[in-house]
Amino acid sequence: MTSEKAPFAEGDLVVYPTHGVGKILGIETQEIAGHTLNVIVVHFDKDRMTLRVPLAKTKVSGLRRLSSRKEMDAALAKLRGRSRSKRTMWSRRAQEYQAKIASGDPGSIAEVVRDLYRNVGQPEQSYSERQIYQAALDRLVREFA
């Protein structure tokens, strides 16, 4: 077994693209299918979920540190920008918005919030549109905080 250097320490706050902000509980060694793996244990309070990511797969999985101040400032600048009015079908836009949220990139998530904010509270806003908007807003706020 090769010695892998841990990119994160216990107590670090990290972002996992599909789940948002979590806290590193530690690094464990587990045996899975006859192979010994070092895994990073991440707990997500909001979802009451614990995730184990193999140490060798942290980059591939997208696990990363919280965004820097500069990255968050860029995301906030996108929020202040002009929303893009799209004429495509809602189902296609919804898929695009979900993909941006799942990417975990604060800039992409900010674009979703910006684009969907224009209809917040409007009677013509669909339930799925409200759900996507709320998911994007929650994800952005958790990383910003």
Rounded distance between C-alpha atoms, residue 108 and residue 106, angstroms: 6
Q: Which two tokens mark 94?
A: 């919804």
**Taking all residues of the chain, what is their mean pLDDT, rounded to a whole number?**
88
In the predicted model, residues of the chain with pLDDT beneath 70 are 1-6
| Cα angle 131, 41, 45; round to 5 | 35
Which residues fall within 8 angstroms of residue 51, CB to CB, at 6 or more apart? 16, 19, 22, 41, 42, 43, 44
Rounded distance between C-alpha atoms, residue 115 and residue 133, angstroms: 9
**pLDDT value at residue 4:** 55
69-144 adopts what CATH topology?
Answer: Methane Monooxygenase Hydroxylase; Chain G, domain 1 (1.20.58)
The ranges assigned to domains in the chain are: 13-65, 69-144
**pLDDT value at residue 121:** 72
**pLDDT value at residue 1:** 42
**pLDDT value at residue 5:** 64
**pLDDT value at residue 2:** 45
- Asked if CATH classification 2.102.10.10 holds for the domain at 13-65, the reply, yes or no, is no
Residue 101 one-letter amino acid? I
**Domains 13-65 and 69-144 agree in fold:** no
**pLDDT value at residue 10:** 92
Task: Answer for the pair 19, 51: CB distance below 8 angstroms, yes or no.
Answer: yes
